[in-house]
Amino acid sequence: MHTRPEDIVITSDNSSRLCARTIKADFPVLSQDINGHKLVYLDNAASSQKPQSVIDELSRFYSEDNANIHRGLHTLAERSTNAYESTRKRVAKFIGCQNPDEVILNSGTTAGINLIAYSWGEEHINEGDEIVITEMEHHANLIPWVILAKRKKAVLKRIPITSDGRLNLDDIENIITDRTKILALSHMSNVLGTINPVTEIAEIAHKHGAIVVADGAQAVPHMPVDVSTLGVDFYTFSAHKMLGPTGVGVLWGKKELLDKMQPFMTGGEMIREVHFDKVTWAEIPHRFEPGTPNIAGVVGFAAAIDYLENIGMDKIRQHEIEITRYALEKLSKIDKLDIQGPTEPDIRGAAISFTDHNVHPHDISTFLDSKGIAIRAGHHCAQPLLRILGKVATARASFYIYNDEADVDALVQAIIEMKKYFGV
Amino acid sequence: MHTRPEDIVITSDNSSRLCARTIKADFPVLSQDINGHKLVYLDNAASSQKPQSVIDELSRFYSEDNANIHRGLHTLAERSTNAYESTRKRVAKFIGCQNPDEVILNSGTTAGINLIAYSWGEEHINEGDEIVITEMEHHANLIPWVILAKRKKAVLKRIPITSDGRLNLDDIENIITDRTKILALSHMSNVLGTINPVTEIAEIAHKHGAIVVADGAQAVPHMPVDVSTLGVDFYTFSAHKMLGPTGVGVLWGKKELLDKMQPFMTGGEMIREVHFDKVTWAEIPHRFEPGTPNIAGVVGFAAAIDYLENIGMDKIRQHEIEITRYALEKLSKIDKLDIQGPTEPDIRGAAISFTDHNVHPHDISTFLDSKGIAIRAGHHCAQPLLRILGKVATARASFYIYNDEADVDALVQAIIEMKKYFGV
Amino acid sequence: MLLDDMYRDVILDHYRYPRGRKPIEKKDFSSIGHNPACGDDITIQIALENGNISEIFADCKGCAISTASGSIMAEYIKGKAVDEVKHIAQNVRQMLKGEPCELPDDMGDIDALEGVKNFPVRIKCALLAWITLIEGIGNYESGHADEIVVVSTEQGED
Amino acid sequence: MLLDDMYRDVILDHYRYPRGRKPIEKKDFSSIGHNPACGDDITIQIALENGNISEIFADCKGCAISTASGSIMAEYIKGKAVDEVKHIAQNVRQMLKGEPCELPDDMGDIDALEGVKNFPVRIKCALLAWITLIEGIGNYESGHADEIVVVSTEQGED
Ligand SMILES: Cc1ncc(COP(=O)(O)O)c(C=O)c1O
Ligand SMILES: Cc1ncc(COP(=O)(O)O)c(C=O)c1O
């Protein structure tokens, strides 16, 4: 195991702080130069980097245990199955879920939301029903509902945002009604950084008999999440944004709901008995895991969770609050730069979208890249939100455990140089 | 790159033969002892092992290039995107497809077949239409059609098998009719080893205006496949069965058909323009690749294809014909052992199912495992086929490039000991 | 791996010469168990006399472990009171699943099943007979003796 | 990476002081281009005199590259024959996509766009103006001059 406890040291001045520099050393990708500058990776909301321990676990698995899972009676198949199933338990514990059967392992957040929209939606949504989303949704938690609403002639309603990028709940009692069947909202916005008051809104939705789907793609990597108290019915996230391998995701759902749902995709490993004219399904979670899954990816995901838990999700959240505070303070001092989202770090994460009055986000990104700084520019898979913000694109810097104040300083310095470069 | 050309040597006596022993050395998992015996891995039809070059490529990618793909303007995003898209071209070339846009990268065969069943099936199948499958299908190429037929009140018809496990085409003109909309069949059976005359049957189906979906999960890893001459409309396979990472698959489809199909799963990266009330889709292949894909897995898959092509698919096929011939000959000499599938190696692959008159497949598997031999026992996700064969389970030994006659000998020897052990 | 630890002589003996295979004339209840993952099947028929199991037919089609488990069960429960048998069956189930359990000192050949615990993928095989028995007794007690119970080791026993 | 190779002085000059921004009185045809991936938009309006482009309005909302590309185009094509312009635009497209092309000796500022080729993700930006022009001319030639053409660099230009 690469992550020794002593790797995660605490700085002398403040015991709640991470030492990002020591953590950085665990991520081989971060030690390289890009365009002659040490890489400053600030594209974490798109995907995180991987510690050596995760990379090593993938190699180890393929070199020692690899085999297809379930139904196999030989040693490798048993080892693979155990490693796969123990990740399920690991994930359950990580998100405060008591029953690992409620954890469906899949290929990502997108797969999880589509599963709910097809399986639960197909059965329960009828003409005239209402589906409530928010204006700040990622396409993954938006298009499946747009499509479902269209297919079922249901009504798509949305919770608007305030000018500082929070949900505007003033009119919530008119938005969520007895006709509401689903409320789908992101726990943390990938554009605005906003952490939404999921529990509070879920309570209103439940009062009206709706189910609540939360998109945790941006939340789980960055803050403690406990589904046993969050108050939602379904929760989805992706491993690749939280130090884990690509192609792995989680859909958590309440057993009472999952038990009654028809499978979405069908194939091997998810059945009880198959005839040409009749098929009976396996119990959850297997019913929702057809075919050969991303076995190695799932096994590597456990190493990612180990790494995060070794640091502690509370500490990670605290670290990101500090770095967000610092970044917001520094960025807001730059002339003609607009920052999106809440200004108070304690109600937001470390994804910071900004625009320059003159330089286009794509030019910002290209320029920063020439200084070794990786940020993202574009619509961040949230076109409707950007339209509401009046932007066609923003630049976004998003921070994680291995980023520190020095990275913010590098960003700010480069933005200042950029303004000079384009001279507009 | 771990696979040097000289690794793939040819034996002195026969230039068309592989040297399985030299190849074995490239697969770290195979160098271990299981229960005190050198591992003999004969569960390749379930999943193959990975050469060091694939494992190294995964590590390299995560250590040097990792970032989310598309829309990213920074160096790592560009490298990732290029690596991902160049695998698409690599795959296209590998299966003889001229236009890489016809190659959809997904999570596996199961995902590919479900996509066709949902997207093409939903739009084109109506009450009374006929869907034709065969009696030897894997659940992945069976249940999606059972479900589709049920949902649409369509009729599921099947091509029967002969007693030696080939398709019985005697009645084919009555099975495939003008009402047939889809013919779905496996290119190679995972239970019987049978290579089906896909081109011949596809021609009949096309004559009646049906589309043809071939399940290539067992074929692509083991023989040259050229979709430009095969005569099918859709073709699916999985990377994990052909030396590649888990969680990666391919759906190839004809552009004319894909262009007209609605997306199946929706989310980021597959859209052109998104509004709350209207979404327009990206061109193929992106339309069918929502969300963050298994980027590293896809990149590693290219290294697997390199490895296979370095050997040559013709040679691999030749090798497996030889080993199948040898195995069938040796196994058929064992008393009270029944072997399924065709007896001529040139119309079958190297997956050999067998049953002992007295010892149950599960006991066979457990016993063989105690001798370090990994085979699979069970229904192999083909319950209807097993019912037709009159079995509840079979034992299955399946061979690949790193297996040789010595592995067959070990298997045969262990089966003989097994019979003594159980003494029935 | 100690193969002999699972396939103990007692197990192999029950597998080769399964007990309880003689059809019985009259039955008071029966049940059928099925393990879809393996394809194993068991049919149990039981005749009672004064609350004791007087005759048992246990026909198991499956691997050595499930066959032996059914045979051991048939041999062990014959002559015992239904209540006692129910209690024992429940505890065998717990034993196989590695849960706390109390088993009688005189376990007959049941303790030979303990080696299966080291082969997690085979525990289901050993469980089938006992779960089918538990379901059968349960149904008998609730007055559905002539209904055929189909139990599945996949259901909640995974 | 040579940033200056893409953002050449000529490019930055066109970006800062884009040409062709003066609205024109009468137009013979127009077209609108849109790049959904970036959000870039361009509106082109063209007036003709004797088969020559007499006036052009090219309003590009986008990054430095797409803005400069539109400005370079506006400057270059003014006064040229429609036929010639069509031919040049097609060749600029090919040049940007790294395909064989023939461009006139006197390219004006067009050759400053060549540096974009080293930044594959930005090629789309440079393409937008030229594709929109090609579409506009095509529509004019086929008699649909007053229809607004919406082209997208995603469509087949990816
Ligand atoms: C013939 C056949 N089809 C489909 C599949 C399903 O492939 P996957 O599990 O990779 O989706 C398999 C392998 O399990 C197979 O052998
Ligand atoms: C808020 C949010 N939801 C959903 C997704 C989609 O996740 P994935 O692409 O891993 O399926 C993302 C990330 O892109 C996201 O930021």
Domains and CATH numbers, chain B: 5-43+312-421 (3.90.1150.10), 55-308 (3.40.640.10)
- C116-129 in b/e burial notation, b at 16+ Cβ within 10 A? bbebebbbbbbbbb
> pLDDT confidence of C148, banded at 50, 70, 90?
low
Classify domain D3-152 at the CATH class level. Answer: alpha beta
Contact criterion met (CB below 8 Å) for D62 and A360: yes
What's chain D's average pLDDT? 89
Q: Do A392 and D38 touch (CB under 8 A)?
A: yes
Quick one: CA torsion of B295, B296, B302, B308, rounded to 10 degrees? -130
Contact criterion met (CB below 8 Å) for A424 and D15: yes
The residue whose CA is least distant from atom 12 of ligand 2 is A217
What's chain A's average pLDDT? 95
Report the C-alpha gap between C19 and C112 in whole angstroms: 15
Q: Which residues fall within 8 angstroms of residue B13, CB to CB, at 6 or more apart? A: none
Cα A32 to ligand 1 centroid, rounded to whole Å: 40
> pLDDT confidence of A12, banded at 50, 70, 90?
very low
Q: Which residues fall within 8 angstroms of residue A57, CB to CB, at 6 or more apart? A: A299, A300, A302, A303
Q: Which of C38, C67, C122 sits opposite B393 (nearest CB)?
A: C38
Please identify, by atom number, the ligand 2 atom nearest to the C-alpha of residue A108: 11
Q: Which residue of A has its CA nearest to D11?
A: A422
Does residue C88 have a pLDDT over 70? Answer: yes
Cα A217 to ligand 2 centroid, rounded to whole Å: 5
Cis status, amide bond into A285, omega within 30 of 0: yes
Report the C-alpha gap between D57 and D75 in whole angstroms: 10
The H helix count followed by the E strand count for chain D is 5, 4
Task: Indicate which ligand has the atom closest to the C-alpha of B191.
Answer: 1
Where do we find the tokens 């598309």? B70
- ∠ Cα A112 A116 A118 (to 5°): 115
Task: Give rounded-to-5 percent helix, strand, coil for chain D.
Answer: 45, 20, 35
Q: Which residues fall within 8 angstroms of residue B370, CB to CB, at 6 or more apart? A: B35, C1, C3
**Residue type, position B389, single letter:** L
Regarding the beta carbon of A213 and ligand 2, being less than 6 Å apart is answered no
Does residue C84 have a pLDDT over 50? Answer: yes
Quick one: CA torsion of D132, D135, D137, D142, rounded to 10 degrees? -160
Interface B-C: count of C-beta contacts within 8 A: 49
Regarding the beta carbon of B114 and ligand 1, being less than 6 Å apart is answered no
CA–CA distances in Å: residue C156 to residues A255, C70, C88: 13, 20, 20
Cis status, amide bond into B285, omega within 30 of 0: yes
The token duo for B354 is: 């067998």
Three-state DSSP state, D122: helix
Three-state DSSP state, B284: coil
Q: Which residues of C touch B370 (CB under 8 A)?
A: 1, 3
Regarding the beta carbon of A43 and ligand 2, being less than 6 Å apart is answered no
Q: Which residue of C has its CA nearest to B35?
A: C1
pLDDT at A79: 95
Regarding the beta carbon of B217 and ligand 1, being less than 6 Å apart is answered yes
Chain A residues within 8 Å of chain C (Cβ atoms): 71-73, 75, 78, 81-82, 272-273, 282-283
What is the 8-class DSSP label of residue A251?
E
Contact criterion met (CB below 8 Å) for A73 and B367: no
Report the C-alpha gap between B100 and B91 in whole angstroms: 8
Three-state DSSP state, A97: coil
pLDDT at B141: 98
CA B187 from centre of chain: 9
Does the annotation mark A381 as catalytic?
yes
Report the C-alpha gap between B79 and B82 in whole angstroms: 5
CA–CA distances in Å: residue B63 to residues A113, A317, B56, B300: 30, 25, 10, 13
pLDDT at C118: 85
Does residue C157 have a pLDDT over 70? Answer: no
Q: Which residues fall within 8 angstroms of residue A146, CB to CB, at 6 or more apart? A: A156, B274, B276, B277, B278, B279
The token duo for D105 is: 């000796």
**Residue type, position A123, single letter:** E
Is any Cβ of chain A less than 8 angstroms from the Cβ of B143? Answer: yes
Q: Do D3 and A422 touch (CB under 8 A)?
A: no
Report the C-alpha gap between A117 and B120 in whole angstroms: 19
Contact criterion met (CB below 8 Å) for B220 and B242: yes
Average pLDDT of span A126-149: 98
User: Ligand 1, from B238, B353, B400: best to mutate by most atoms within 8 Å of Cβ?
Assistant: B238
Q: Provide the shortest C-alpha distance from residue C64 to chain A (in Å).
A: 14
**Residue type, position D9, single letter:** D
Contact criterion met (CB below 8 Å) for A186 and A218: yes
Report the C-alpha gap between D146 and C12 in whole angstroms: 89
Quick one: CA torsion of C2, C4, C7, C13, rounded to 10 degrees? -170
> pLDDT confidence of C38, banded at 50, 70, 90?
confident
The token duo for C60 is: 């198991």
- ∠ Cα A258 A262 A268 (to 5°): 100
Regarding the beta carbon of A291 and ligand 1, being less than 6 Å apart is answered yes
Three-state DSSP state, B104: strand
Q: Provide the shortest C-alpha distance from residue D152 to chain B (in Å).
A: 9
Report the C-alpha gap between D107 and D84 in whole angstroms: 13
User: Ligand 2, from A195, A238, A242, A385: best to mutate by most atoms within 8 Å of Cβ?
Assistant: A238
Does residue D155 have a pLDDT over 80? Answer: no
What is the 8-class DSSP label of residue B25?
T
pLDDT tens digits for chain B (424 residues)? 344 444 444 444 445 578 888 999 999 999 999 999 999 999 999 999 999 999 999 999 999 999 999 867 899 999 999 999 999 999 999 999 999 999 999 999 999 999 999 999 999 999 999 999 999 999 999 999 999 999 999 999 999 999 999 999 999 999 999 999 999 999 999 999 999 999 999 999 999 999 999 999 999 999 999 999 999 999 999 999 999 999 999 999 999 999 999 999 999 988 888 999 999 998 999 999 999 999 999 999 999 999 999 999 999 999 999 999 999 999 999 999 999 999 999 999 999 999 999 999 999 999 999 999 999 999 999 999 999 999 999 999 999 999 999 999 999 999 999 999 998 7
Q: Do D156 and B283 touch (CB under 8 A)?
A: yes
Q: Do A78 and C154 touch (CB under 8 A)?
A: no
Q: Give the closest residue to D67 by CA, choosing from D117, D111, D17.
A: D17
Q: Which of B361, B362, B422 sits opposite C12 (nearest CB)?
A: B422
Chains touching chain C, criterion 3+ CB pairs below 8 Å:
A, B
Task: Between A424 and A387, name the one with better pLDDT.
Answer: A387
The residue whose CA is least distant from atom 16 of ligand 1 is B190
Q: Which residues of C touch A273 (CB under 8 A)?
A: 36
The token duo for B10 is: 């040819």
Average pLDDT of span A395-412: 98
Dihedral of alpha carbons B172, B174, B178, B179, sign: negative
pLDDT at C146: 65
pTM value is 0.94
Q: Which residue of B has its CA nearest to A141?
A: B267
Span between the terminal Cα atoms of chain C, in Å: 23
Contact criterion met (CB below 8 Å) for D62 and D37: no
Where do we find the tokens 């699916």? B236
Q: Which residues of B touch D36 (CB under 8 A)?
A: 272-273
Regarding the beta carbon of B236 and ligand 1, being less than 6 Å apart is answered no
> pLDDT confidence of D120, banded at 50, 70, 90?
confident
Q: Which of D1, D121, D154 sits opposite B282 (nearest CB)?
A: D154
Dihedral of alpha carbons B248, A1, A18, A321, sign: positive
Regarding the beta carbon of A215 and ligand 2, being less than 6 Å apart is answered yes
> pLDDT confidence of C94, banded at 50, 70, 90?
very high
pLDDT at A20: 86
Cα A96 to ligand 1 centroid, rounded to whole Å: 34
Q: Provide the shortest C-alpha distance from residue D98 to chain A (in Å).
A: 21
Dihedral of alpha carbons B217, B221, B226, B229, sign: negative
Q: Which residue of B has its CA nearest to D38?
A: B71
pLDDT at B11: 44
Domain residue ranges in chain C: 3-152
pLDDT at B191: 98
pLDDT at C153: 59
User: Ligand 1, from A70, A292, A294, A295: best to mutate by most atoms within 8 Å of Cβ?
Assistant: A292
Q: Which residues of B touch A72 (CB under 8 A)?
A: 43, 46, 376
Contact criterion met (CB below 8 Å) for D32 and D53: no
Q: Which of D16, D38, D122 sits opposite A366 (nearest CB)?
A: D122
Q: How many CB atoms lie within 10 A of CB B186?
A: 30
Task: Indicate which ligand has the atom closest to the C-alpha of A220.
Answer: 2
What is the percentage of chain A residues whose pLDDT exceeds 90?
A: 92
Q: Provide the shortest C-alpha distance from residue B273 to chain D (in Å).
A: 6
Does residue A338 have a pLDDT over 50? Answer: yes
